[in-house]
Amino acid sequence: MIRLSARFASAAALLVLTMPLMQAKAQTQVPAAPAADAPAPAPQGPPVFPTPDPKYFTAPLPTKDTINAFLSASWGYEENRVWQVQAILKTPVEGVSKVVVFVGDKTGKEKPSALEFYAFADGKHIITGDQIVAFGATPFADFRAQMQQKADGPFRGSPDKGLELVEFADFQCPHCKEAQANMDKLAVDFPKARIVFQNDPIVSIHPQSVTAAAYGVCVAKLAGSTAFFTFAAAVFDGQDGLATADGATLTLNSAATKAGVDTAKVAACAASSETKAVVDASVKLAEDLGVTQVPMLVVNGREVPANAPYDTLKKIVEYQAKLDGVTK
């Protein structure tokens, strides 16, 4: 299980359409999923789903084509994932449809299961679990445009925003520290990507994270992005020093020195209202995007935990780049 420092106690639904499937409860008014309590059979190849019954398609929207395009955008990086739209049902709420999808694995290693979600009339959102998720044939397009416009943190790699990887992180978060190995690998494997760092300090559990974020903003302002990433690496390496206010001062000044920046200038800049506004704007950007946990990577608008297994992370970046017509 991917470990995350969370601003809220739970945001598991964020992963429903990116990581392994969460099984929904069976409902009497929809076709039953393949038996969940039966012993798992030996791998036999792709599952055989029951033929969809027309009586379970009572709502005109969303269409099967839109649902399939959405699931392809969400799951297409998993080459063994297969699914079948099994129902699109009217509900008592005008314009809200209930969708049931049967899901399986080509190898037969996973039990077939059912995913249920509710689609809104706007065609752009669904409810899955207790979360509202972007929907449609290109579900990440709006978030991608928002990132291209507002993600203004220091970056490495290409100045072009065709393939933009925006990392939201907290300098005091141990899982953000762990994620830096992934970020360094992505920089090597995707040299044409623009990799942006956005501060998202969680002050309620990391009291020194806001000060660290402010120092980072000022290092970038005074010496540029290259100096910032030297600073950031040093802060993550010395993260234990952020446990106290005095320790944070020593750790941040040491990191600034390694980045070649005058510590007095950085400290004065970090204490300014202008710097506070920059940090607040970055946090607001994360909130607008629905980021509720760090470390989070936004790949052309698509959210995925930055400390996911690297092979999975790389596949998602490659797949999203392909969907967006970007040469990595």
Query: Between vectors from CA 152 to CA 137 and to CA 267, what angle results, nearest 5°?
Result: 150
pLDDT at 25: 31
pLDDT at 42: 55
Percent of the chain with pLDDT over 90: 81
pLDDT at 53: 96
pLDDT at 19: 39
Percent of the chain with pLDDT over 70: 87
pLDDT at 9: 31
Determine whether 237 is exposed, middle or buried from the number of CB atoms within 10 Å of its CB (0-12, 13-18, 19+). Answer: middle
Residue 83 near residue 104 (C-beta atoms within 8 A): yes
pLDDT at 327: 78
Query: Between vectors from CA 297 to CA 74 and to CA 318, what angle results, nearest 5°?
Result: 55
Q: What is the mean pLDDT of residues 177-192?
A: 97
Q: Which residue has the tokens 């809220």?
A: 8
**Across the chain, what does the average pLDDT equal?**
88
Q: What is the mean pLDDT of residues 270-277?
A: 98
What confidence tens digit (pLDDT) does each residue in 64-93 have? 999 999 999 999 999 999 999 999 999 999
Q: What is the mean pLDDT of residues 134-154?
A: 96
pLDDT at 109: 84
pLDDT band at 50 (very low <50, low <70, confident <90, very high): very high
pLDDT at 328: 64
Assess if CATH 2.40.30.10 describes domain 142-323: no
Check pLDDT > 60 for residue 37: no
Q: How many CB atoms lie within 10 A of CB 82?
A: 16
Q: Which residue has the tokens 């017509």?
A: 325
Cis before 207 (ω within 30): no
Check pLDDT > 90 for residue 221: yes
pLDDT at 292: 87
Residue 170 near residue 176 (C-beta atoms within 8 A): yes
pLDDT at 36: 44
| CB neighbour list of residue 168: distance below 8 Å, 6 or more residues apart | 198, 199, 200, 282, 286, 291, 294, 295, 296, 297, 298
What residue type is assigned to position 320 of the chain?
Answer: Q
Lowest mean pLDDT among 11-20, 31-40, 274-283: 11-20
Higher pLDDT, 6 or 168: 168
Provide the residue ranges of all domains of the chain, joining segments of one domain with +: 5-137, 142-323
Check pLDDT > 50 for residue 220: yes
Check pLDDT > 60 for residue 286: yes
pLDDT at 26: 30
pLDDT band at 43 (very low <50, low <70, confident <90, very high): low
